[in-house]
């Protein structure tokens, strides 16, 4: 006879274990050391592969050294090296810029100028640039400063200020002559600013003001001279005109007197010709004509040896003193 037993509701429910998962954990715990070794080896291999394989970008070149000895220049792409034995130095070959903020230079006419310069260059020989020059960027900057100062010493201040294109070209040519020793190639050389010191600028301004004042004074003097020359020319022409007019008037008067005298002479000659041979009356008439002519044009001086009384025949009334000498006409 089977006896039925009723389950107790308060009894705990038995836990059913996941046997596959439990088995996996058991295996991992048993092989933990092996797994750790595998992970370490894999990580080491990955690190070794990463250290052995490297990439060179298009804008750089790689200097491959093995045991400190240069082997070759790596071109852009993937490359392999021996870890802990080979060394690769990356060198940027793209164009880079340099700047000289302020450089004091003495010009050929003994003027100190402050000059700023911008220059660009690129690396054409990575071996010389990186392996034969210590701190190449600083060396190149010092080289450019020296070339700039040497060129300024051979130029006058006006040439540096106003012939900027010629100055840049000559400096570029000087830099090209020595660029090979540094493994670079200069691309652009351009003076940004060139100015004398403040005291020199003030002196130049004072000189310009003095020159302007001198030019103004010269212009005023030239203008006054022109006016004086004009006045002198006008006065000279007026004097010449007056003299010419006086000369012409005198010539006209002289000609008039000459013609009048000739006419009178001809008239007198005609009268004399008519009166000649007419007797005492004609002679008296001639004496009257002579007296009229003398009264209009002459004076008579009558002398008795001691005094010289004057008879002015042009006067209406004349005083005549007795004298024994003959009258002497004076023109």
Residue 186 CB-density burial (10 A; 0-12 exposed, 13-18 middle, 19+ buried):
buried
Residue 107 CB-density burial (10 A; 0-12 exposed, 13-18 middle, 19+ buried):
buried
| Nearest-angstrom CA–CA distance, 295 and 287 | 12
Higher pLDDT, 115 or 281: 115
Residue 153, pLDDT score: 92
Higher pLDDT, 156 or 2: 156
pLDDT tens digits, residue range 282-307?
777 777 777 776 666 655 554 555 44
**Residue 38 Cα distances to 42, 44, 45, 287, angstroms:** 6, 10, 10, 179
**pTM (two decimals):** 0.51
What stretches of the chain show up as alpha helix (H) in DSSP?
A: 19-30, 32-52, 126-131, 136-153, 157-162, 164-176, 198-275, 280-297
Distance, first Cα to last Cα, the chain: 216
Residue 22, pLDDT score: 64
Residue 296, pLDDT score: 64
Q: Is the pLDDT of residue 3 over 50?
A: no
> How is residue 106 written in tokens?
């003495």
Residue with tokens 């010419």: 244
Task: Give the torsion sign (CA, 214, 215, 217, 222).
Answer: positive
Q: Is the pLDDT of residue 175 over 90?
A: yes
Residues 6+ apart with CB under 8 A from 56: 62, 74, 75, 76, 77, 79, 90
Residue 290, pLDDT score: 73
Which has the closest alpha carbon to 52: 89, 91, 90, 86? 86
Contact by Cβ (8 Å): 189, 172: yes
Residue 10, pLDDT score: 53
Q: Please work out, in degrees rounded to the nearest 5, the angle formed at the alpha carbon of residue 160 by the alpha carbons of 159 and 164.
A: 95
Q: Is 299 helix (H, G, I), strand (E, B) or coil?
A: strand
| Nearest-angstrom CA–CA distance, 103 and 114 | 5
107: phi then psi, degrees, rounded to nearest 5: -80, 175
Higher pLDDT, 51 or 142: 142
pLDDT tens digits, residue range 183-223?
999 999 999 988 887 777 787 788 888 888 888 888 888 88
Residue 20, pLDDT score: 59
Residue 116, pLDDT score: 93
Q: Residue length, the chain?
A: 331
Higher pLDDT, 23 or 258: 258
Contact by Cβ (8 Å): 121, 109: no
pLDDT tens digits, residue range 141-170?
999 999 999 999 998 888 888 888 999 999
Contact by Cβ (8 Å): 240, 247: no
| Nearest-angstrom CA–CA distance, 127 and 62 | 10
Mean of the per-residue pLDDT values for the chain? 79
pLDDT tens digits, residue range 66-124?
988 999 999 999 988 888 888 899 999 999 999 999 888 888 888 888 899 999 999 99
Residue 256, pLDDT score: 81
> How is residue 102 written in tokens?
């302020």
Residue 148, pLDDT score: 93
Residue 64, pLDDT score: 92
Q: Is 128 helix (H, G, I), strand (E, B) or coil?
A: helix
Residue 23, pLDDT score: 62
**Residue 327 Cα distances to 299, 305, 312, 315, angstroms:** 10, 12, 13, 18
Q: Is the pLDDT of residue 172 over 60?
A: yes
Give percent of the chain with pLDDT exceeding 90: 29
Q: Is the pLDDT of residue 16 over 50?
A: no
Residues 6+ apart with CB under 8 A from 210: none
Residue 72, pLDDT score: 92
């Amino acid at each position: 006879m089977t006896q039925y037993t009723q389950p107790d509701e308060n009894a705990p429910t038995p836990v059913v274990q996941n046997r596959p998962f439990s088995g996996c954990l058991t295996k991992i715990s048993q092989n933990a050391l092996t797994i750790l070794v595998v992970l370490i080896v894999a990580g080491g291999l990955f690190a070794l592969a990463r250290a052995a394989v490297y990439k060179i970008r298009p804008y750089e070149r790689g200097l491959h050294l093995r045991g400190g000895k240069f082997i070759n220049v790596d071109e852009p792409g993937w490359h392999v090296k021996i870890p802990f034995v080979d060394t690769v130095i990356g060198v940027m070959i793209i164009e880079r810029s340099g700047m000289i903020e302020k450089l004091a230079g003495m010009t050929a006419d003994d003027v100190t100028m402050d000059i700023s310069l911008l220059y660009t260059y690129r690396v054409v020989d990575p071996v010389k640039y990186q392996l034969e020059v210590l701190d190449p960027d600083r060396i190149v900057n010092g080289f450019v400063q020296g070339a700039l100062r040497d060129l300024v010493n051979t130029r006058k201040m006006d040439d540096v200020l106003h012939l900027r294109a010629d100055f840049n070209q000559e400096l570029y040519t000087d830099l090209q002559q020595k660029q090979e020793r540094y493994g670079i190639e200069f691309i652009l050389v351009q003076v940004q600013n060139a100015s004398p010191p403040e005291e020199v600028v003030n002196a130049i301004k004072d000189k310009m003001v003095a020159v302007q004042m001198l030019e103004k004074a010269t212009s005023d003097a030239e203008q006054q001279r022109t006016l004086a020359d004009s006045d002198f020319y006008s006065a000279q022409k007026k004097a010449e005109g007056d003299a010419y007019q006086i000369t012409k008037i005198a010539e006209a008067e002289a000609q008039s007197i000459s013609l009048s005298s000739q006419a009178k002479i001809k008239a007198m000659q005609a009268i004399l010709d008519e009166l000649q041979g007419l007797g005492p009356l004609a002679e008296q008439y001639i004496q009257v004509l002579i007296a009229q002519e003398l009264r209009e044009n002459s004076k008579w001086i009558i002398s008795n040896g001691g005094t010289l009384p004057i008879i002015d025949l042009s006067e209406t009334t004349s005083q005549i003193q007795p004298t024994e000498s003959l009258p002497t006409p004076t023109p």
